[in-house]
Amino acid sequence: MLFNTFSFVVFLVVVLAAYWLTPGWNRRKLVLLVASYLFYAAWSPPFVFLLFFVSWLNWVLARHMAATQEAYLRHGFLLASLLSSLGLLSYFKYGTFLFASFSDLVNALGGSFSPPELDIVLPIGISFYTFHALSYTIDCYRGRLVPNQSFSDFALYVGFFPQLVAGPIVRASNFMPQLLRQPLVSRDHWGWGGVLLLLGLFHKVVLADAIFAPVADQLYSAPGDASFGDAWLGVLAFSCQIYCDFAGYSTCAIGLSMLFGFALPENFQAPFAAVGFSDFWQRWHISLSSWLRDYLYISMGGSHAGHWSTARNLMLTMAIGGLWHGASWMFVIWGVLHGFYLVVERFVVSQLAFAGRYFSTVGLALGTFTIVTLTWIPFRSSDLAQATAVIEALFRPGNLQILPDQLLLLISAVGALVFFQIRNRERSFSQVFQAWPLAAQSIWLSGAALGLFLFSGGDSRGFIYFQF
């Protein structure tokens, strides 16, 4: 069920009614757990058992880990958690890709190998709930968490439906304490949750799907026909599309959680206003970048083992982060490029500090935004040939093919997004919105609702990050 469908509205109303009318906190949590599994079953019922198995196995292993003081046993339980969870993720997400890559390598070396037809179906959201479960077992191993005695609570943490299939990637240390006692939900919580839900849907339906996606699709469907102007506008459109699509989902998830009394962490903080690439990754998909930092980059040694080791750790972390997005070398290329930017920024440009003497924050933000936008090309491209064709189109003369009204809407939307984020780079949307007078808030809410009404009913696109 997509958040922007009537079926989800019906589902949400029924679940909210059942949740708030059910007496007792334990019973309410059970209502949410059942609802979350039904939500996941709507995508593919058999994979509910996979979600259950990943949850149960990591819960059991964490309990065994806490029950022993023997270091080798604790290492063994952690290793079992990593191998089983990452093994399942690798099979479903990367099985076909690994066989195809091995076949290409063997054939390139003069051998002959035809990979078997695995016909593997990717379970939706597996990357997200696998990382949820692993953050729990790793934190238990490190002594930062005490294993939870209630499997139903842990299963609800892993499978909580607002963030189940596309994040944010929530840490057990953030979510599970909220399960200890019934939350107090005021009218302000309900009101602000509704505002965030409306904002997220506006980003998805109006901005991502109606304004940016058609321009991006036009470029990537036929890059050989695109002129200089079409190519730059298409690349720019996708940069804004993926932000509005993913930030829209995250905002919806945060808003929906508030309706049930739960708080999820922010996943985006004005990424178009980032000054440099380390700043970008502190603002873009924050839950993933912080997860990779805490559980991968630091585990490899972080920045404490010399310049070359730090560069290696950055490159490996970002390459793995790219591969996390999907079974394609194009994602790896995207991740490696960001790793390269981080290495250059860290060791050559010294965090862009010297540039601040000569360029304004706005200039540095626009420069960062431009490079990040161009780096989305391999991310969006299906293969290297398509990425090359798009890059070539960036320098090809010709007439603009985008319709004037479409061009005006695109430029206005991009300009508004970039201007708003640069102007409010240190403030969240909630802080900005709450500082507005009531009249301005009412105008914004009415405009967002009107936009949803006008642009609903067109192409029903899934959220981009559902495929990851």
Domain that holds residue 138: 18-182
Please indicate, yes or no, if residue 285 is contained in any of the structural domains: no
Same domain? For 160 and 250 the reply is no
Cα–Cα distance measured from residue 450 to residue 135, given in angstroms and rounded to the nearest whole number = 41
Domain presence at residue 310: no
Rounded Cα–Cα distance for residues 317 and 293 (Å): 8
* Residue 456 resides in a domain: yes
Is residue 223 situated within a structural domain? yes
Looking at 138, 156, 182, which one is the last position of a domain?
A: 182
Please give the DSSP secondary-structure letter assigned to residue 90.
Answer: H
Whether residue 207 sits in one domain with residue 163: no
Same domain for 65 and 170: yes
* 113 and 193 share one domain: no
Same-domain pairing of 150 and 36: yes
What is the secondary structure of 258-312 as a DSSP string? HHTT-------S-GGG-SSHHHHHTTSSHHHHHHHIIIIITTTTTTSS-HHHHHH
For residue 364, what pLDDT band results from cuts at 50, 70 and 90?
confident
Number of independent structural domains in the chain: 2
pTM of the model: 0.91
> What pLDDT digit, counting tens, does each position of 189-209 carry?
888 899 999 999 999 999 999
Instruction: Verify that 428 and 356 share a domain, yes or no.
Output: yes
Summary mean pLDDT of the chain: 88
Residue 249 resides in a domain: yes
- Same domain membership, residue 229 and residue 108: no
Using CA atoms, how far apart are residues 57 and 109, in angstroms rounded to an integer?
A: 41
Orientation of helix 361-380 relative to helix 228-259, angle to 10°: 90
> Which residues lie below 8 Å from residue 318, measured CB to CB, with a gap of 6+?
335, 336, 338, 339, 342
Percent of the chain exceeding pLDDT 70 equals: 93
Task: Give residue-wise pLDDT tens across range 326-361.
Answer: 888 999 999 999 999 999 988 776 555 555 555 677
Q: Are residues 199 and 158 in the same domain?
A: no
Model pLDDT for residues 381-400, shown as the tens digit of each residue: 999 999 999 999 999 988 88
Residue 375: is its pLDDT beyond 70?
yes
Same domain, 177 and 194: no
Nearest Cα to Cα of residue 172 among 195, 192, 142: 142
Which residues are CB-neighbours of 226 under 8 A, at least 6 positions away?
218, 219, 234, 390, 393, 396, 398, 401
pLDDT range class, residue 6, cuts 50, 70, 90: confident
pLDDT in tens, 150-184: 999 999 999 999 998 877 999 999 999 999 988 88
Q: Dig out the tokens for 410 from the structure.
A: 């695109």
Residue 325 annotated among the catalytic residues of the structure: yes
Statement to judge: residues 60 and 165 lie in one domain: yes
- For 23-42, the pLDDT digits (tens) are 999 999 999 999 999 999 98
Q: Are residues 433 and 385 in the same domain?
A: yes
Q: Among 144-158, 182-196, 288-302, which is the least confidently predicted range?
A: 182-196
Among candidate residues 182, 207, 234, the one where a domain is terminated: 182
The domain boundary, picked from 147, 182, 217, lies at 182
> Is it true that the peptide bond before 147 is cis, omega within 30 degrees of 0?
no
Give the 3-state secondary structure percentages of the chain, helix then strand then coil, rounded to 5.
70, 0, 30
Which is the catalytic residue, given 132, 203, 325, 338? 325
Residue 176 lies in a domain: yes
pLDDT at 465 > cutoff 70: no
User: pLDDT value at position 357?
Assistant: 53
Residue 172 lies in a domain: yes
Q: Would 335 be classed as within a structural domain?
A: no
178 and 193 share one domain = no
